[in-house]
Amino acid sequence: MLSISPRFLPGLRTGVLLSSLFAIALLSGCSGGTAAFDDDAATSAQQRWNLPELRFTEDGLPHPDILAERQVLHRGNGSQPQGLDPHLTEGVPDANVQRDLFEGLVSAGPDVVLGPGVAERWEISEDGTRYVFHLRRDAKWSNGEAMTSADWVYSFRRVLDPQTGSKYAMILSPIVNARQVMGGELPPEQIGVTALDDYTLEIRLNAPAPYFLELLTHNSAYPVHRASVERHGDAHARAGNLVSNGAYRLEELVMQSHIRLVRNPHYYDNHRTIIDEVYFYPIEDQAAELKRYRANELDMTYEVPNAQFDWISANLGDELTVSTYFGTYYFGFNTSRAPFDDIRVRQALALTIDRDIITDKLTRFGEVPAYSFTPPGVPGFDYASVQPEWAGWSQQQRNEYARELLAQAGFDEANPLALEIRYNTHQNHKKIALGIAAMWKQALGVRATLINEEFRVFLANRRQRSLTQVVRIGWIGDYLDPTNFLDLYHSQNAQNDVAYEEPRYDALLAQAAVTADPAQRMRVLEEAERTLLGDYPIAPIYTYVSKRVVKPYVRGWQPNASDHHRSRHMYILKH
C-alpha cells in the first residue's frame, strides 16, 4: 500500500470510494452539487488546465513524461505548529508536517489503508495482545544512521515518561504498563515494549485492541533520534537539529511564515518519492488562504471558508473536494443540573433539532446529519442498529412526540422551559446555536439564551459542570474505533463534561476492552452506543467534513476520513 499504484488514480474523483478498511461514501451527490468528484468535472479540469493523459511506469509510478519539471508542493496548513517534536504536539497542522517528516512502524497509503511502515511485517498473537514487528534493515535516520529496535524502545519510553510532558501519550494506553508509567507509578523501562533483537520489536498490550495498528500511525508513536534529543533537549526538533526518519527532512522553519521540507535521500523508499520539496504555510485566516490559492501561491488549502460556499461552488467547483471526517458535532446536556437531570427534557430537546436544516441551510458543505455518536467509517460497526427509532420519523412526528415528553416533564405554554446554550465564540457555532434555539422555540416554546465565551473560558466552564446547561461539543477521532468516542462518557473520564454516570454503560465499555473476538467486541460497543444514545446526555447533530480546494494538477492523493495526505504519495502534472 505504500506506493502510488495506478489503481488509486482513476478512482480519485469518482463518487464512492470503497476500501477494504474504510468504506466512506464521499459526498458527490449531495444537494446543490456540493462536491465535485464526478468524472465530468475531472475531464473539464483536465482540459482547462491542459493536463496530460495519465500514464504509469511498470512499477506503478507516474510516467516521467507527464510530470512537471518542478516537483515543489505548496500546502496551506492552518495555524503555526506548536513544534515538530512528535511526542509533544497535539495540533492537526503539527501532525500534517510530522506525517511527512516521520514514519511509524505502520504507515498508510493515500486511501489511509494501513500498510507496512518501518516494520515490513508483523505477527499478532491469537489473543490479540502480543505484536511482533520485523523492522526493515534498510530503514535509516535522515542523517544516514541505521534504525534499530533500540530506537523504538527509547521512543516509546520517552513519550510515556511523565517527565516528557506529552499531552497525547494516553493514546498509547493499551500498551502494558503505559498507564502506570504515565501516572508515575512505574519507571518508563517497565512498559511492554521490548527489543527481541536489533530488528525485531515486541509490543504487549493489556487487552486486545483491534485499532492498535492504526495507533502506530499516530505522531505519538513516531520515533525520535536519541542522540539529538539528548544533545539538544527541547530544541531537538528545530531546523538544523531535527533528525527524522520519514520521506522528508526539515530544511527550514520560519515561525508564522513557512516550513520547508526537502527529500530525505536516506529514506528507504526515496526512489518512489516524486515531490522534491514541500512548503507548509500557516495561514489561519481562511479567506486569506483562499486568496493565496487563487493567486497560485498554494497548490492545496487547509480548509475553505464556510461563508463562501456559493462562490466556491460556482467558481472553483471542480477544485473543491469534500469528504466526511471522523468527527461529530453535538450538543451536551449537563445532567447534573435540573431540569436536564430529567431524561424526558433531554430527549425532547434532542428530537426537535432538525438536523437536515442544519446541514442543508447552515453548514452547507455536505456535512451529514448524525444520529449516532460514533461517526461513519468504523469497519464492522453496525450503525443502523444503534440509531434511535425516531431517526426514521419525519421531523413533524419527532416534534409531536417531543411536545408530549416535555409536557410530561411539566413544561408547557404557561410554564415554558428556559435554558442557556453555551458555545465558544465562532461564527459557525453561533449560526447553529441560533438555528437550534429557533427550532426549540418553534417546536417546544423553549426560551433559549445564547452565551458565547472565548475558547479557554468555555472549556473551563464546561469542565466544571456547575455553570453550564446546554453546551456545544465537537470531537474528532484519532483512530477509527468507537471507543475513541464512547470512552469520553465513561463516568470516570475527565472529559465527561455532561456528568453522565451509568454503571451499565461503564460495564459495557469494560466488557468490550477484554473481548478478544473483534466481531463480538463490536456488538458490545454497539450496545454501549445504544445505551448512551438512549439516555440522551448528548444530542449528535452532524458528522464533520474536511473540505479544501486542490489544484487539478496535484495528483496521487485521495479524500479520506482521517484527512491524512502524505506528500510522498503526490505528484504534480505538467500544466
Q: Kindly state the DSSP code that residue 363 receives in the 8-state scheme.
A: I
Report, in Å, the least distance between residue 293 CB and another protein. Answer: 9
**Segment contacting another protein by CB under 8 A, of 139-147, 231-239, 363-371, 527-535:** 231-239
Cβ proximity to another protein: between 33 and 184 the closer is 184
Between 473 and 550, name the residue whose CB sits nearer to another protein.
473
How far is Cα 53 from Cα 67, in angstroms, rounded to an integer? 11
| Rounded distance between C-alpha atoms, residue 307 and residue 365, angstroms | 10
295 touches another protein (CB under 8 A): yes
Asked if 460 is part of the footprint of another protein (rule: CB under 8 A), the reply reads yes
**DSSP secondary structure code for residue 233 in this structure:** G
Per CB under 8 A, 491 contacts another protein: no
Under rule CB under 8 A, residue 519 binds another protein: no
Rounded to whole angstroms, the Cα distance separating 158 from 171 reads 14
- Kindly give, in sequence order, each residue whose CB lies less than 8 Å from that of residue 521, ignoring residues fewer than 6 positions away: 208, 210, 512, 515
Burial status of residue 334 (CB atoms within 10 A of its CB: 0-12, 13-18, 19 or more): buried
Other CB atoms within 10 Å distance of the CB of residue 320: 23
Q: Is residue 85 involved in binding another protein (CB under 8 A)? A: yes
Q: Which residue has 511485517 as its cell numbers? A: 121
182 binds another protein (CB under 8 A): yes
Three-state secondary-structure class, residue 389: helix
For residues 104 and 149, what is the distance between their CA atoms, to the nearest angstrom?
Answer: 12
Question: Rounded to the nearest 5 degrees, what angle is found at the Cα of 34, between the Cα atoms of 32 and 35?
Answer: 145
Q: Are the C-beta atoms of 243 and 141 separated by less than 8 Å?
A: yes
Which residues from 95-154 bind another protein, rule CB under 8 A?
Answer: none
Residues 3-42 binding another protein (CB under 8 A) are none
Q: Which is nearer to another protein, 331 or 411 (CB)?
A: 331
Q: Is 80 in the site for another protein (CB under 8 A)?
A: yes
493 binds another protein (CB under 8 A): yes
> Looking at beta carbons only, is 342 or 478 nearer to another protein?
478
* Nearest distance, CB of residue 482 and another protein, angstroms: 18
Of 45-53, 129-137, 493-501, 556-564, which part binds another protein (CB under 8 A)?
Answer: 493-501
Closest distance to another protein from the beta carbon of 276 (Å): 20
**Can you tell me which residue has the cell 493514546?**
171
- The least CB distance from residue 455 to another protein, in Å, is 7
Backbone CA torsion sign across 296, 297, 303, 306: negative
Of 25 and 239, CB closest to another protein: 239
Beta bridge partners of 450: 421
Using the rule CB under 8 A, give the single segment among 28-36, 131-139, 252-260, 444-452 that binds another protein.
252-260
Q: Which of 392, 454, 492, 519 binds another protein (CB under 8 A)?
A: 454
Does 483 participate in binding another protein (rule CB under 8 A)? no
Q: Of residues 40, 59, 189, 284, which one binds another protein by CB under 8 A?
A: 284
Among 277, 314, 315, residue whose Cα is nearest residue 299 = 277
Question: If DSSP codes are grouped into helix, strand and coil, which group holds residue 514?
Answer: helix
456 scored as a contact of another protein (CB under 8 A) = yes
The cell 415528553 sits on which residue?
Answer: 405
Number of residues that bind another protein (CB under 8 A): 52
Give the C-alpha separation, 465 to 217, whole Å: 34
Helices then strands, counting H and E runs in the chain, come out as: 17, 20
Nearer to another protein, 94 or 502 (CB): 94
Cβ 331 to another protein, closest distance in Å?
A: 16
Report strand pairing: 418-424 vs 447-453. Answer: parallel
Closest approach of another protein to the CB of residue 188, in Å: 12
> How far is residue 483's CA from residue 490's CA, in Å, rounded to a whole number?
10
Measured from the CB of residue 226, what is the shortest distance to another protein in angstroms? 17
Instruction: Please report whether residue 55 would count as binding another protein according to CB under 8 A.
Output: no
CB 32 within 8 A of CB 313: yes
Query: What whole-number distance in Å separates Cα of residue 407 and Cα of residue 416?
Result: 10
Interface with another protein, residue 299, by CB under 8 A:
no
Sites for another protein among residues 156-175 (CB under 8 A): 162-163, 165-170
According to CB under 8 A, which residues from 263 to 282 bind another protein?
281-282
Q: How far is the CB of 84 from another protein (least distance, A)?
A: 8
Using the minimum distance from each CB to another protein, give the nearer residue, 83 or 435: 83
Taking CB under 8 A as the criterion, the residue among 47, 82, 397, 442 binding another protein is 82
Count of all residues that appear for the chain in the document: 575
Q: Where does 425-529 show beta strands of DSSP type E?
A: 447-453, 470-476
Whether 382 and 520 have beta carbons less than 8 Å apart is answered as no
- For another protein, the closer CB: 83 or 208: 83
**Is residue 538 close enough to count as binding another protein by CB under 8 A?**
no
Q: Which residues bind another protein (CB under 8 A)?
A: 80, 82-85, 88, 90, 162-163, 165-170, 182-184, 234-235, 237-238, 254-258, 281-285, 287-288, 291-292, 294-295, 297, 454-457, 459-461, 463, 474-475, 493-495
